[in-house]
Structure 1
Amino acid sequence: MKASLRKPRIARLTLCAVAAATLAACGGGGGSNSPSASSSAPAAVAPTSLSGTVAVGRAISRANVTVTDTTGKSVLATADANGNYQVPLAGLTAPFAIVATDPAGATQPLMSVVASVPTSSSGPVIANVTTLTTAVSALMTQSGNPFDLADSKTLSTLVTPASVAGAVKTLNAAVSGILSANNVDWKSFDPIGTPFTTNQTGPDAVIDAVQVIPATGSSGGLQLISNANPNSSANLVLNSSASVTAPLPVPPATGNLLGTTYAALTQCLAGSSASCSQAVDPNYKENGFTSFPLAHPSLAASGVTLGVPKILEFFTAAAQQALIALPYTTSGGAAGFEYTVAQQTANGWDIIGNQQQYNVNIQSFIQRRQTLDNDTWPSNVSRYESGIQIMIPLGAAGTPNPANLASASVTGPGITGTIYYVLPAQAGTSLLSIARAPQTSVPTGGLTSDTQAYGHRWSWQTLPGVTGTFVPSTQNLGEKYESQPIDVSSVPQFATYTVTFYDASGAQIGQTSVVNPTPNIAASNGASIPWQTISADTANSLLNPSGSKAGALSSVNLSWSNLVNGLNVAPLVTDAIFSTQGSAPTDNMMGYGQGTGYAASGIYSTSVTAGVDQNGVQGCTTACSFAALSSGNDRNVELDSHYGPISLGAYWGYSD
């Protein structure tokens, strides 16, 4: 959605047109001595390069592009600031799979394909890599995982001119109304080969109007939704068996609705108070804050670049309010999203905020949990599991959450009964934690929890190759599980939850409604996600009772790889977490380390200090350390990242 122009090809076409017009004006268009059109046209030659635009509406600046051919040969390229890339075709054999990754880590990998190369052409072969081409690729696979096509054997079997044409036809039927609303002929549109400009018009506006998100059924894969109604019955599950029963709903408005708001907000964050009044409504409230910078410190930080807003959902048919995502990139190259609500006013659009009374955030997550000791304990089997993280900061003076906040309850879609959160017992966190022992009523007496658990698990699935069956324990580190995996497709996208605050006596002191602004995800999606791998040194030295670093430590070094089948496609780690649990209070310790920017090698490492919380603040008032991996103690490594807006956690644990 970041406005950018794919200039080189457009410029060449324009210059040719100008040259032709000039010749005609000078009298070169007639007479016996004038060359005919056929004799003056250059002979067509086979294309020598592959090029296109990497975009999700906004261009993916500096995207890392890998082109793999049918023999398994790969060529790497880096897109420019406008998302445009080009690779030579010499030595490559069609068909091709094109994978693009966001170096900032804010967008999940994108996929595209080319079935064949013409024997003659007037320019390069065009292969855009976008949300739409990812959908086309998924439509060509039985699993719905577009990255199955990156395997050269699968590529040669599945990617043919006929299969690509069939997938494009299905996609175009699904978005026919949206294409027509943006003046694009849905019967002839080619999302792979049509050059476009990321200016929120034409094909780019279509990309803006849709999202490819996890399909929440038992088979996993992806689905295509419209921001007009993310819960429409017309949502298209993307696989080779897909058929369109009805087109996706057309958004109530198209085009660059938030362009003026974006420009004003950018100036506001740069220090222009006049622009702030244009971008932010006088009645603005977000998570209890009435100041935009206080509600969104990530956006207000020095050196942050704000991306063009993405509309996730129109709340009303009249397009009067919309849930939006605000992408951003830090000065160090890290990226993320902030969420808010925009509204239409008599003077255009401004930001009104979510109008929440208190500071609570909910986000979808999926984890891959691997047990390094054994999988024989039913409550400790290696698995994928997914649900929602509910983050409730501690109450303190000067913050929206009351200082006497002692516990909170959460109810809503996908939650059976009520989840209770209580004050944390450990150093190294600033959030309420799920009570270790299940609570059937509001906790009283200042109950605390040493679990550092924030997530409600509603879906799980044993990892491939593991024979054990996971059975949630009622005392499973305080993490709240449903008694059985639910049908995640029954949970509405962008669902609303009720969060109630209580003091130590159990008296209610506040309540707020909270929207989950991220797509739902099921455990079955775990098999198609590119996960990180911890290094052998980290596993053998820290997560082994015989390891060289099994003793008590004040800090640890964690290292990992983002390479998946040789491709550097796993998401960038935002937080690297090391924790220990045991019977003694001092055994329970956690520390957060910061992720790093993109590394071409795909190899990363960071240092983690005991007691340092999510905000980099040391919570230990005296010297503290991670407990030794001795009898009765556990150690865990977790690498947090994002699959688009969804939170990922790659987890490894050893229970001695």
Structure 2
Amino acid sequence: MPTTLSGTVATGAPVSGANVQIVDSTGKSVTVTADAKGNYQVPLTGLTTPFAVFATDPSGIAPPLASVVPAIPANSSAPVIANVTSLTTAAAALVTQSGNPLDLANSQNLSSLVTLAAVSKAVQTLSNATANILSANNLDPKSFDPIATPFTANQTGADAALDAVQVIPATGSAGGFQLISTANPNSSANLALNSGATASSSLPAPPATGAFLAPLMTALTECLGGSSGSCSQAIDASYKDNGFTSFTQAHPSLAASGVSLGVAKILEFMPGTSGKQVLIALPYTTSGGASGFEYTVAQQTANGWDIIGNQQQYNVHIQSFIQRRQTLDNDTWPSNVSRWESGIDIAIPLGAAGTPNPANLASASVTGPGITGTIYYVLPAQAGSSLMSIARAPQTSVPTGGRTSNTQAWGYRWSWQTLPGVTGTFVPSSNNLGQKYAPQPIDVSTVPEYATYTVTFYDASGTQIGQTSVVNPTPNIAATNGANIPWQTLSGDTIHAFLNPNGPQAAAQQTVNVSWSNLVNGANIAPLVTFPEITTQGSAATDNIVGVGQGPASVNASGTYSTSVTAGVNQAGTQTCPSACSFAAFASGITRNLDLSSNYGQISLDAYWGYSE
């Protein structure tokens, strides 16, 4: 019989150092670390089929991945192969009724759902859905098995096919996930991933396959490393991103010392460009281990591919987000009910000399898919704030007179749903209606992927001074998708000590220790937290304090983490209080909030706990 289980963890590039966890039908699990090429191997001794295999990216760039093994052959000594990729994640989702592959971390679900027949059906459905893409990469749809076919993560063959697809949230009422093609993310052939799915047609194959951006990425890496000759090869003469004509000014995160670039992730071959322009995500990791994405547009020229940029006139960024908001005091207030909520963050930096946005920028309007009417942004009331804020009261026309807002709100919430087990019904506060929240939850499935929004700038008199089109380069997400995300769990000790008016840390605190778990159904699969943030709010200026945790969290045990958060220290590690300050003590009118920020692929996640006195 086979004695080992092995495979490759990849998403169009190897997931180097992936944390791979194998869960068997009895609930037993084994954890190993993949090598730099995404390869892993574990002994099968003591494990009982079927297996679920989960992989998490230590950089946090790739979302959690999954795979399944229904059985192992008794008459072979060859290793059992279980790749863990975007396509195997789709296959795992296809054996579940919910469409959530993380359900298989539960051994009961695993035993009943992962059968030879169910996995064979899932692989066949995937083959039908990806036939065009597989054929374009010299793979036979009739014989290719994304789970069991060995491959190398080198942007050819099976790895190139991975680069042509994405598994993203399915934003309909059923939730779950869907498989899309970079050739057309809004294709009618998009495949909903659940056990009832069938592929009536094949996803379109992209017009370019394999490592066609590799020479560009080599030149860009050399350019950022100081080779000016490579810059003209990587950056087009007509380059513009978010109003900047300098790549390093537009993307300072990539230009910072010690940053390493990953493999470019193709998001979409842009409509109307005959396949000659692509929206891409550039993954990066800092010298301190932080990671993220920067977005831009590459184009095909007579001399190959270079970066042309998004050609936006002004500096505006849009990103999808989802939050899980848990209220610890009570769920009876309609505006305070525990819930999932989702939408888009719209970051509009203030105008200043040397930046693309006009110095006399006083307000802005945003319209586009998923937005009911018009959102108006105004100047922030808080000193030191660098972004425009959504107007607190609903606006029916362009604000004038230099109006300000103390909301510090940049996100438009278009979808919300009460958490399971909560009896209350969430109703947005009336003074935020139509601004921070849509008037009613929308059907997010009606919003196209990579939708374009119109942002218009005005001066203090309400006169238009500029306009630009902005693409959301991240997948849409609905509140219902919150049920399929592996959220972190805040430790009971932290909740009892700091988020409890009778706890030992109810008094003012300069520094708070925060601990949490990434275990979901016993598997370490929740996204890594990028930073925790504590906020206290009240009527006095000294009550309104924010603190952000610094550096990587300490690993206390498998799947559990902790770090400290100091009042007044921002994300850059700078103390923003004039002198040492404290998180406000619990008293009437005081609110304490704790957020764990992370990323689910390119989507921003925020797990929130709050208590109001």
Q: TM-score range by the shorter chain?
A: over 0.9
The residue correspondences of 1:599-618 to structure 2 (distance < 5 A) are 599=555, 601-618=558-575
Aligned to 1:102: 57
Residue 330 of structure 1, CA deviation: 1.8
Task: Quickly say closer, same or farther: Cα 1:126–1:279, change in 2 above 3 A.
Answer: same
Letter in 1 for 2:134: L
Residue 304 of structure 1, CA deviation: 1.4
Distance across 2 between alignment mates of 1:203 and 1:286: 32
Distance across 2 between alignment mates of 1:520 and 1:120: 47
Task: Detail structure 1 runs of 4+ shifted over 6 Å in the superposition.
Answer: none
Distance across 2 between alignment mates of 1:251 and 1:385: 33
| 29, 34, 46: which one aligns with 1:91 | 46
Whether the aligned pair in 1 keeps the contact of 2:347 and 2:387 (CA below 8 Å) is yes
The answer on 1:219 being equivalent to 2:177 is no
Letter in 2 for 1:627: A
Letter in 2 for 1:446: G
Residue 263 of structure 1, CA deviation: 0.6
The residue correspondences of 1:135-146 to structure 2 (distance < 5 A) are 135-146=90-101
The residue correspondences of 1:397-416 to structure 2 (distance < 5 A) are 397-416=353-372
Q: Deviations over 1:487-525 (max 9, x none)?
A: 100000000111122223322222211110000001111
Aligned to 1:647: 604
Of 565-574 and 253-262, more deviation after overlay is shown by 565-574
Distance across 1 between alignment mates of 2:398 and 2:573: 32
> Cα RMSD over matched residues?
1.8
Distance across 2 between alignment mates of 1:626 and 1:199: 50
Residue 228 of structure 1, CA deviation: 0.4
Whether the aligned pair in 1 keeps the contact of 2:531 and 2:596 (CA below 8 Å) is yes
| 262, 267, 279: which one aligns with 1:307 | 262
Distance across 1 between alignment mates of 2:406 and 2:573: 20
Aligned residues: 611
Distance across 2 between alignment mates of 1:420 and 1:430: 17
Letter in 2 for 1:320: K
Q: Deviations over 1:44-74 (max 9, x none)?
A: xx21100000000100000011111111111
The answer on 1:634 being equivalent to 2:581 is no
| 237, 244, 251: which one aligns with 2:192 | 237
Residue 608 of structure 1, CA deviation: 3.2
Whether the aligned pair in 2 keeps the contact of 1:106 and 1:645 (CA below 8 Å) is yes
Distance across 2 between alignment mates of 1:117 and 1:241: 26
Whether the aligned pair in 2 keeps the contact of 1:70 and 1:93 (CA below 8 Å) is yes
Aligned to 1:177: 132
Distance across 2 between alignment mates of 1:257 and 1:121: 39
The answer on 1:565 being equivalent to 2:565 is no
Whether the aligned pair in 1 keeps the contact of 2:554 and 2:563 (CA below 8 Å) is no
Residue 607 of structure 1, CA deviation: 3.4
| 206, 212, 217: which one aligns with 1:257 | 212
Letter in 1 for 2:326: Q
Of 474-483 and 180-189, more deviation after overlay is shown by 474-483
Whether the aligned pair in 2 keeps the contact of 1:500 and 1:508 (CA below 8 Å) is yes
The answer on 1:481 being equivalent to 2:468 is no
| 408, 424, 430: which one aligns with 1:452 | 408
Tell me the secondary structure at the aligned position of residue 605 of structure 1: strand
Distance across 2 between alignment mates of 1:403 and 1:653: 37
Letter in 2 for 1:228: A
Residue 582 of structure 1, CA deviation: 2.3
Of 475-484 and 232-241, more deviation after overlay is shown by 475-484
Letter in 1 for 2:54: V
Task: Quickly say closer, same or farther: Cα 1:437–1:589, change in 2 above 3 A.
Answer: farther
Of 216-225 and 475-484, more deviation after overlay is shown by 475-484
Distance across 2 between alignment mates of 1:578 and 1:426: 18
Aligned to 1:419: 375
Whether the aligned pair in 2 keeps the contact of 1:455 and 1:479 (CA below 8 Å) is no
Aligned to 1:513: 469
Distance across 1 between alignment mates of 2:242 and 2:422: 42
Task: Quickly say closer, same or farther: Cα 1:353–1:289, change in 2 above 3 A.
Answer: same
The answer on 1:68 being equivalent to 2:23 is yes
Distance across 1 between alignment mates of 2:553 and 2:513: 17
| 81, 87, 101: which one aligns with 1:126 | 81
Task: Quickly say closer, same or farther: Cα 1:625–1:442, change in 2 above 3 A.
Answer: farther
Residue 215 of structure 1, CA deviation: 0.3
Of 471-480 and 249-258, more deviation after overlay is shown by 471-480
The answer on 1:55 being equivalent to 2:1 is no
- Structure 2: segments with no counterpart, 5+ residues: none
Task: Quickly say closer, same or farther: Cα 1:598–1:525, change in 2 above 3 A.
Answer: farther
Distance across 1 between alignment mates of 2:433 and 2:187: 37
The answer on 1:202 being equivalent to 2:157 is yes
Whether the aligned pair in 2 keeps the contact of 1:500 and 1:510 (CA below 8 Å) is yes
Distance across 2 between alignment mates of 1:110 and 1:433: 36
Residue 120 of structure 1, CA deviation: 2.6
The higher radius of gyration belongs to 1
Distance across 2 between alignment mates of 1:106 and 1:114: 25
Of 520-529 and 617-626, more deviation after overlay is shown by 617-626
- Structure 1: segments with no counterpart, 5+ residues: 1-45
Task: Quickly say closer, same or farther: Cα 1:609–1:444, change in 2 above 3 A.
Answer: farther
Whether the aligned pair in 1 keeps the contact of 2:105 and 2:522 (CA below 8 Å) is no
Aligned to 1:461: 417
Tell me the secondary structure at the aligned position of residue 549 of structure 2: strand
Letter in 1 for 2:5: L
Q: Deviations over 1:213-249 (max 9, x none)?
A: 0000011100000000000111000000101121111
Identity in percent: 74
Residue 202 of structure 1, CA deviation: 1.2
Distance across 2 between alignment mates of 1:419 and 1:241: 39
Whether the aligned pair in 2 keeps the contact of 1:214 and 1:519 (CA below 8 Å) is yes
Residue 551 of structure 1, CA deviation: 3.2
Of 505-514 and 57-66, more deviation after overlay is shown by 505-514
Of 426-435 and 441-450, more deviation after overlay is shown by 426-435
- TM-score, reference length from structure 2: 0.96
Task: Quickly say closer, same or farther: Cα 1:618–1:400, change in 2 above 3 A.
Answer: farther
Whether the aligned pair in 2 keeps the contact of 1:430 and 1:613 (CA below 8 Å) is no
Residue 617 of structure 1, CA deviation: 4.2
Aligned to 2:321: 365
Distance across 1 between alignment mates of 2:567 and 2:314: 30
Residue 189 of structure 1, CA deviation: 0.9
Residue 420 of structure 1, CA deviation: 1.4
Whether the aligned pair in 2 keeps the contact of 1:434 and 1:478 (CA below 8 Å) is no
Tell me the secondary structure at the aligned position of residue 98 of structure 1: strand
Task: Quickly say closer, same or farther: Cα 1:623–1:62, change in 2 above 3 A.
Answer: closer
Distance across 2 between alignment mates of 1:390 and 1:576: 21
Letter in 1 for 2:233: Q
Of 58-67 and 541-550, more deviation after overlay is shown by 541-550
Q: Deviations over 1:290-343 (max 9, x none)?
A: 111111111112221101111110014621101001111222222211110000
Aligned to 1:111: 66
Letter in 2 for 1:49: T
Aligned to 1:161: 116
